[in-house]
Structure 1
Amino acid sequence: MMGLIRQAFIVVVTIATAIHSKIQIAEAVNIGVCYGMRGDNLPPATDVINLYKKYGIEKTRLFDPNPAALNALRGSGIKVILGIGDEELPNLAASPDAVMTWFSTNVDPYINDVLFSVIAVGNEVIPGVYAQNVLPVMQSLQSILDAKGRGSTIRVSAVVSLGTLGSSYPPSSGAFTPEASSTLRDVLTFLSQHGSPLLINIYPYFAYASDPVKVQLDYAQFTATEAVVMDGSLSYYNLFDAMVDAFFSAMEKEGVSDVNVVVSESGWPSAGNGDFTTPQLAATYNRNFMNRVTSNKGTPKRPNAQIEGFIFATFNENQKPAGVEQNFGLFFPNMEPVYPVFS
């Protein structure tokens, strides 16, 4: 009898240990990961969502409404930024009915089972040939969401790159280019009216790789131990904060000071550009980016602003341009980590 009790005790301890281990692995990290799909060897969407659950990834960004991914996300509890493909914008901007059709096809069937947080109209299309289409589509989407009682839970926004800034150094001099400003002024007014954030894609890697003499590696990687840039009374220890504050300054110059930002892409490639792109550098940047985002701290300019962030990207994608573009993934297509980030 004592032997049976001892065996039962061992079984219980083993199960408890396994459960504890799984809880540790699945502990939420409050970080987003971009789910790019430009590869011919990527795993099924159901496996990808299970991968997110395994590592406690709470948020993802889809660049377009992929049905397999949306079905896999049902009931997952993972928050989703859903993008609209750039090439769809002219047709959608031409007619509110076209936006309703898009919404009925790509959002309505999932709206009760998938946690949509933002619908992003295009990706880095301001300035450009699609820029004029962004605001009309945003307005139509907002009307649809308001009519469905979802206007305060699902936000509508646009995604811009650092290329919209004509000036970014020092951060207080941040200003949009004239070409970007002509469109963004009305977009920012819309965001302000509806309490929505601006989505920004920022990559300290590209600034460092383009000028490693002037841009220090520790400043780009969040590892500087003292201020690198002084902007008036504000001290900057990392380029990430400086880039975010340059956007805040640019928005203020457009007369908007109450719009927050979501960093919808940031990352560091692990290969493709020699010593600038090693797994060690990529791991350091992405771990520190994750820690920065999950700290819930603001920036020097806006200390109370909570900055949400998404790592680019889930996988190395072999159908992207050769070089660094194929090497931003946290995971290989077989779902093995390129380098450890979450553990």
Structure 2
Amino acid sequence: MQNVYNAIKSAGLQDSIKVSTSVAPTVIGTSYPPSAGSFSSESSSTMTSIVGFLSSTEAPLLVNVYPYFSYIGNTRDIRLEYALFTANFDVVTDGQFRYRNLFDAMVDCVYAAMEKVGGGEVPIIASESGWPSAGGVAATIDNARTYNSNLVRHGGQGTPRRTGTPLEIYVFAMFNENKKAAGIEQNFGLFYPNKQPNFGLFYPNKQPVYDVNFP
């Protein structure tokens, strides 16, 4: 990252081109409540250096945010409506912050972790988020449509920890990946079969799996 930044700076482009990296939720050691968010002992040194670099260069941290994986890893304690943005009540109360959806809680957990290592001003970009339409627990077309439709509407509101600050979000994925073999994913220390072949908004033949209205 430093070498790429130096090359960009040598061309005088450091203000228009930012250098960053994407991370998975596995860099988090403590995730609940969101304000207790902190980097794991394994990732702390590396993440502290990354956050310091991003702070000094005024660049964002890219975070892959998947409430689906957290939900299927703990269906006993996580409500489906909390994961789908459909809860109409405060599910989690964390001091002055109230959470009605898991996405916000996951993002704010990373914000809290960065604050603890001196990166409170570093913004977050949700570099991946989505919901599978087939292949596993709660993986239905209706749930995928509900999640992604609510996701794109929600981004402009920010999170409780960053109220009113729009969050840049990238939906995973454009196409179902019918040639992609299922493997094992890890999320907050939980291991499970991934459902990535069915995250697409379109089938490989370019027909829509379901419609999402983008604002």
- What one-letter code is carried by the residue in structure 1 that aligns with 2:139? T
Q: Which stretches of structure 1, 4 residues or more, deviate above 3 A after TM superposition? A: none
Rounded Cα–Cα distance in structure 1 between residues aligned with 2:164 and 2:213: 26
**8 Å contact kept, 2:61–2:124:** yes
In the other structure, the counterpart of 2:202 is 331
**8 Å contact kept, 1:260–1:305:** no
- What one-letter code is carried by the residue in structure 1 that aligns with 2:79? Q
Report which stretch shifted further, 258-267 or 209-218.
209-218
Q: Does 1:186 align with 2:49?
A: yes
Rounded Cα–Cα distance in structure 1 between residues aligned with 2:46 and 2:127: 20
CA offset digits 1:6-63 (Å, max 9, x no partner): xxxxxxxxxxxxxxxxxxxxxxxxxxxxxxxxxxxxxxxxxxxxxxxxxxxxxxxxxx
* 1:302, distance to aligned residue in structure 2 (A): 1.6
Aligned pairs, how many? 203
In the other structure, the counterpart of 1:316 is 176
* 1:290, distance to aligned residue in structure 2 (A): 0.7
**8 Å contact kept, 2:178–2:204:** no
* 1:153, distance to aligned residue in structure 2 (A): 1.2
In the other structure, the counterpart of 1:245 is 108
**Partner-residue secondary structure (3-state), 2:162:** coil
Rounded Cα–Cα distance in structure 1 between residues aligned with 2:94 and 2:60: 25
Rounded Cα–Cα distance in structure 2 between residues aligned with 1:215 and 1:172: 18
Q: Which has the higher helix share?
A: 1
Q: How does 1:1-343 map to 2 (within 5 A)?
A: 138-274=1-137, 276-293=138-155, 296-322=156-182, 324-342=195-213
TM-score by length of 1: 0.58
Rounded Cα–Cα distance in structure 2 between residues aligned with 1:270 and 1:288: 15
In the other structure, the counterpart of 1:100 is none
**8 Å contact kept, 1:298–1:306:** yes
Rounded Cα–Cα distance in structure 2 between residues aligned with 1:324 and 1:149: 42
**Partner-residue secondary structure (3-state), 1:199:** strand
* 1:179, distance to aligned residue in structure 2 (A): 1.2
Larger radius of gyration: 1
TM-score by length of 2: 0.91
* 1:142, distance to aligned residue in structure 2 (A): 0.8
